[in-house]
Amino acid sequence: MNPKPHTANPSSLPKIALVGIGLVAILAGLFLYQHGHRPPATEVATLLPTPKPLTAFELTSPQGSFTPNDLKGHWSVLYFGYTHCPDVCPATLSELATLFKSLPASSQLVFVSIDYLRDHADQVDQYAHHFNPNFHGVTGTQAEINRITHNVGAMYTVENTPDGGVSVDHSGALYLINPQGEWVAVITPPFNLDAVARDLTALMKGS
């Protein structure tokens, strides 16, 4: 017959073990306090394994320079496009304008124009404001646009065409930045707006 398994009585544990257990509990509590609870399950948003801090970039807004520090203190959604976009950008921004009505008032969308050949900061900001007053527009030099797109893996091309025009192509994803200025999730098109709204609301409330 197998001997009955022995269950340790906590009162019989060495004091040093009890101290160790207490320290682990304290450290675990500090970790949860500093990093928040486990993020909620999402329907369409892809969460990064760990939040990714954004490396330095300096874009331009009507108020001056726009850096990673301007993304701190509130939730932000980055969307890359350009003001001459004939269909995808205005359609997406119109949909997002409706979606943002259900999100916390402190959240913002930052429309980053990657058309460094034609768009300027005032023009881009006015374009973004046209869809929603909480939308902000920024742009910059090719080098600085490359810096921010490399942060989140966004792809784009801007080329002069033989007829004197400009050809622009870009990814249409949404990139979610937390109040600490870290990239935490990406949502790729086509967008199910109801699901996007539920994911963003859950993630923002879970901070």
What are the structure tokens assigned to 35, written together?
Answer: 């990093």
Q: What percent of the chain has pLDDT over 70?
A: 81
170 vs 155: CA distance, rounded Å: 6
CA atoms within 13 A on the CB side of 145: 26
| pLDDT value at 28 more than 70 | no
What are 194-203's pLDDT values in tens digits?
Answer: 999 999 999 9
Q: What is the mean pLDDT of the chain?
A: 85
The predicted pLDDT at position 39 comes to 64
71 or 5, greater pLDDT: 71
- 148: DSSP letter: H
Q: What is 40-205's CATH number, 2.40.240.10, 3.20.20.150, 3.40.30.10, 3.40.190.10?
A: 3.40.30.10
Instruction: Specify which residues 65 forms β-bridges with.
Output: 60
User: By 3-state DSSP, what share of the chain in percent is helix, strand and coil, each rounded to 5?
Assistant: 40, 25, 40
The first and second tokens of residue 15, run together, are: 């004091």
Strands 76-81 and 174-177: antiparallel
Q: Compute the residue count for the chain.
A: 207
Q: Which of 204, 25, 1 is nearest to 104 (CA)?
A: 204
pLDDT of residue 134: 86
Annotated domain spans of the chain: 40-205
Q: What is the pLDDT of residues 122-146, one digit of tens each?
A: 999 999 999 998 899 999 999 999 9
- pLDDT tens digits, residue range 53-62? 999 999 999 9
**Does 23 have pLDDT greater than 60?**
no
Tell me, what's the pLDDT at 207? 57
Indicate if the alpha-carbon torsion angle 200, 205, 206, 207 is positive or negative: positive
180 secondary structure, DSSP code: T
